[in-house]
Protein backbone atom coordinates (compact mmCIF):
# COMPACT_ATOMS: atom_id res chain seq x y z
CA UNK A 1 0.00 0.00 0.00
CA UNK A 2 2.64 2.54 1.02
CA UNK A 3 4.79 1.73 -2.01
CA UNK A 4 1.79 2.16 -4.27
CA UNK A 5 0.97 5.66 -3.03
CA UNK A 6 4.62 6.70 -2.83
CA UNK A 7 4.58 7.28 -6.60
CA UNK A 8 3.40 10.86 -7.34
CA UNK A 9 1.53 9.95 -10.54
CA UNK A 10 -0.46 7.32 -8.65
CA UNK A 11 -1.41 9.91 -6.05
CA UNK A 12 -2.51 12.19 -8.91
CA UNK A 13 -4.69 9.38 -10.26
CA UNK A 14 -6.26 8.88 -6.84
CA UNK A 15 -6.98 12.60 -6.59
CA UNK A 16 -8.83 12.56 -9.93
CA UNK A 17 -10.76 9.43 -9.01
CA UNK A 18 -12.13 11.16 -5.89
CA UNK A 19 -14.54 12.96 -8.22
CA UNK A 20 -15.84 9.74 -9.79
CA UNK A 21 -15.06 7.11 -12.37
CA UNK A 22 -12.76 7.74 -15.30
CA UNK A 23 -11.76 5.74 -18.37
CA UNK A 24 -8.02 5.15 -18.64
CA UNK A 25 -7.70 7.22 -21.83
CA UNK A 26 -9.15 10.30 -20.10
CA UNK A 27 -6.95 9.81 -17.02
CA UNK A 28 -3.87 9.51 -19.23
CA UNK A 29 -4.77 12.64 -21.20
CA UNK A 30 -5.55 14.66 -18.05
CA UNK A 31 -2.25 13.69 -16.42
CA UNK A 32 -0.12 13.97 -19.57
CA UNK A 33 0.95 10.35 -19.64
CA UNK A 34 0.63 7.55 -22.13
CA UNK A 35 -2.32 5.17 -21.94
CA UNK A 36 -0.01 2.18 -21.23
CA UNK A 37 1.67 4.17 -18.45
CA UNK A 38 -1.69 5.06 -16.88
CA UNK A 39 -2.81 1.44 -17.20
CA UNK A 40 0.31 0.28 -15.39
CA UNK A 41 -0.34 2.67 -12.50
CA UNK A 42 -3.98 1.67 -12.34
CA UNK A 43 -3.04 -2.00 -12.22
CA UNK A 44 -0.78 -1.36 -9.21
CA UNK A 45 -3.50 0.65 -7.47
CA UNK A 46 -6.07 -2.04 -8.19
CA UNK A 47 -3.79 -4.79 -6.86
CA UNK A 48 -3.46 -3.03 -3.49
CA UNK A 49 -7.20 -2.36 -3.28
CA UNK A 50 -7.28 1.40 -3.90
CA UNK A 51 -8.98 1.29 -7.29
CA UNK A 52 -11.85 -0.77 -8.63
CA UNK A 53 -12.83 -1.16 -12.24
CA UNK A 54 -15.93 -2.11 -14.15
CA UNK A 55 -16.71 -2.69 -17.77
CA UNK A 56 -18.97 -0.11 -19.40
CA UNK A 57 -19.57 -0.95 -23.03
CA UNK A 58 -16.25 -1.06 -24.83
CA UNK A 59 -14.30 0.71 -22.12
CA UNK A 60 -13.31 0.05 -18.56
CA UNK A 61 -14.06 2.67 -15.92
CA UNK A 62 -11.84 3.11 -12.89
CA UNK A 63 -13.02 4.41 -9.55
CA UNK A 64 -11.55 5.07 -6.13
CA UNK A 65 -11.97 2.50 -3.38
CA UNK A 66 -10.95 4.63 -0.41
CA UNK A 67 -11.48 1.77 2.02
CA UNK A 68 -8.06 0.59 0.92
CA UNK A 69 -6.55 3.71 2.48
CA UNK A 70 -7.61 2.67 5.98
CA UNK A 71 -4.17 1.22 6.90
CA UNK A 72 -2.49 4.44 5.78
CA UNK A 73 -4.97 6.55 7.71
CA UNK A 74 -4.52 4.46 10.84
CA UNK A 75 -0.73 4.66 10.60
CA UNK A 76 -0.61 8.41 9.96
CA UNK A 77 -3.25 8.99 12.64
CA UNK A 78 -0.65 7.94 15.18
CA UNK A 79 1.22 11.13 14.38
CA UNK A 80 -1.82 13.37 14.81
CA UNK A 81 -1.17 13.96 18.52
CA UNK A 82 2.40 15.01 17.74
CA UNK A 83 1.25 17.57 15.16
CA UNK A 84 -1.58 18.88 17.33
CA UNK A 85 0.83 19.43 20.21
CA UNK A 86 3.28 21.17 17.88
CA UNK A 87 0.56 23.48 16.57
CA UNK A 88 -0.64 24.19 20.10
CA UNK A 89 2.90 25.20 21.12
CA UNK A 90 3.20 27.38 18.03
CA UNK A 91 -0.14 29.04 18.79
CA UNK A 92 0.95 29.73 22.39
CA UNK A 93 4.19 31.27 21.15
CA UNK A 94 2.36 33.51 18.65
CA UNK A 95 -0.05 34.63 21.38
CA UNK A 96 2.91 35.47 23.65
CA UNK A 97 4.49 37.53 20.87
CA UNK A 98 1.22 39.41 20.30
CA UNK A 99 0.86 40.09 24.01
CA UNK A 100 4.47 41.31 24.26
CA UNK A 101 3.87 43.61 21.27
CA UNK A 102 0.81 45.16 22.95
CA UNK A 103 2.70 45.75 26.19
CA UNK A 104 5.51 47.67 24.45
The stretch 5-14 carries a mean pLDDT of 95
The domain locations on the chain are 2-103
Other beta carbons less than 10 A from residue 28's beta carbon: 20
As a whole-number percent, the residues of the chain with pLDDT over 70 amount to: 100
pLDDT single digits (tens) 68-80? 888 887 888 878 8
End-to-end, the C-alpha distance of the chain in Å comes to: 54
Assigned CATH topology for domain 2-103: Arc Repressor Mutant, subunit A (1.10.10)
Amino acid sequence: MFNAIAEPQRRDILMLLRAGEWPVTDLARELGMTQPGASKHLRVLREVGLVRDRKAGKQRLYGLDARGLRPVHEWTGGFERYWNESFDRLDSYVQQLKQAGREE
